Amino acid sequence: MNSINRKKQDLDWGNLGFTYQKTDYRFVASWKDGAWSEGENITGEVMAIHEGSPSLHYAQQCFEGMKAQTTKDGSVLLFRPELNSRRMNETARRLMMPEVPEALFMKGVDEAVRMNYSWIPPYGSGAALYIRPLLIGTGENLGLRPATQYEFRVFVSPVGPYYKGGGLSVIKLAVTNYDRAAPLGTGHVKAGANYAGGLLSTKSAQDLGANEALYLDAAERKYLDEAGSANILLAMKGNRFVTPDSKAILPSVTRRAIMDLAKDELGLQTESRPVELEKELKDIEEMAACGTAAVISPVGKIWFKDQWHSFYGAGEKVGPVMLKLYDMLTQIQKGERDDPYGWTKPVAFD
């Protein structure tokens, strides 16, 4: 049994970016002949897999993203991890991979956080421990068929804000000439292939001066889908709080929580429905992107139909609705606010 290093790493916690930082341990389990191994903590960050692995050729792989946060009293909280487990299994079914039993998923997440205690950012640093579970098809193969072996791995990395500018800085999104996902494709699951297909779109958006791409539905290019790595939230005229509904977007854990807070705590009329961007632009008062990495990132401007459109404060300021939601969400995640929903789950260290 490996012992846990209790001494925090000497990092500039307040100035971390969203980058990979090698930590001490990762949890690994393998699937073969219809069964999962019990899994173990290992130190090596480099994987050796067969050159014919279906994850390498045919993108038979998926991942999840979660965060662990330190509270004032030093405990460490996960945020709705069971939803990530469920989503990984929805993705696994869509990509014909074996499901990871919830108990194994939770064990992997708990172990990866616990064994890397020294890398968990301290309370008040503004940083978090990002948790990356992944499931990949391995083993010898050539033709287009599901893998015969799989690896489930969980590694962690301390991270700061996802978007340049950090924290609650106002970002820009751009609608480019590329689609993300077809209505009956894989947009609703967390397949790595969705992200490879988005790299060029992100680059096009960044060339226009935006932080990342904003996608419309691929069938008609009329309705809002989501951003490259986050769902979209809209505070609209008439106290309405809207999130685009689409078959092709990833069901965000963060968005589900924010919709509940908007309804229960702010008394807004919440709606999840298709949003025809051009028609509804004039009614949008505040826009934000939300996700584990993005948290709530206010969107000041979007590039759409060859021009910039601004929201709250001429696109330069954080609006009051998104600010309140950001505060409430992050306070719950850090244990600073009551959690009547039971969203947070402490990691056991003994």
Binding region for ligand COI (CB under 6 A): 65, 229, 291-293
Stretch that binds ligand PLP, among 30-38, 46-54, 249-257, 314-322 (CB under 6 A): 249-257
User: Minimal distance in Å, beta carbon 201 to ligand PLP?
Assistant: 12
Q: Are 92 and 133 in contact (CB under 8 A)?
A: no
Annotated active-site residue in 190, 301, 334, 345? 190
Which residues are registered as beta bridge partners of 290? 231, 296
- Report DSSP letters for 4-29, one per residue: P--SPP---GGG--S-----S-EEEE
Question: Which residue type sits at 19?
Answer: T
**CB-neighbour burial class of residue 267 (10 A; exposed 0-12, middle 13-18, buried 19+):** exposed
**Identity of the residue, 292 or 344, whose beta carbon is nearer to ligand PLP in the bound complex:** 292
Number of residues that bind ligand PLP (CB under 6 A): 12
Q: Are 172 and 210 in contact (CB under 8 A)?
A: yes
Stretch that binds ligand PLP, among 126-134, 160-168, 226-234, 314-322 (CB under 6 A): 226-234
Q: Two tokens at 99?
A: 């499901």
Q: Tell me whether residue 291 or residue 319 sits nearer to ligand COI (CB atom).
A: 291
Give the one residue of 41, 70, 229, 270 binding ligand PLP; rule: CB under 6 A.
Answer: 229
The footprint of ligand PLP on residues 279-298 (CB under 6 A) is: 291-292
- The DSSP line for 139-163 is SS--SSS--SEEEEEEEEEEE--SS
Place of tokens 């709250």: 312
Q: Contact region for ligand PLP (CB under 6 A) — 127-135, 148-156, 246-254, 305-313?
A: 246-254
From ligand COI, ligand PLP, none, interface partner of 250 (C-beta below 5 to 8 A by class): ligand PLP
Closest approach of Cβ 12 to ligand PLP, in Å? Answer: 25
Phi, psi of 238 (to 5 degrees): 80, 25
Active site residue 190: yes
For ligand PLP, what does the binding mask look like between residues 39 and 78, x meaning CB under 6 A?
--------------------------x-------------
Residues in 297-336 that interact with ligand PLP by CB under 6 A: none
> Looking at 230, 242, 262, 277, which residue binds ligand PLP (CB under 6 A)?
230
Residue nearest to ligand PLP (CB): 291
Torsion over CA: 254, 172, 331, 158 (sign): positive
321, 301, 320, 324: which is closest to 311 by C-alpha?
A: 301
Per CB under 6 A, the segment of 105-113, 248-256, 299-307, 322-330 that binds ligand PLP is 248-256
Name 133's Cβ contacts closer than 8 Å, sequence gap at least 6: 63, 64, 66, 84, 88, 100, 105, 108, 109, 152, 153, 154
Residues near ligand PLP (CB under 6 A) are: 65, 226, 229-231, 250, 252-255, 291-292
- The set of catalytic residues is 190
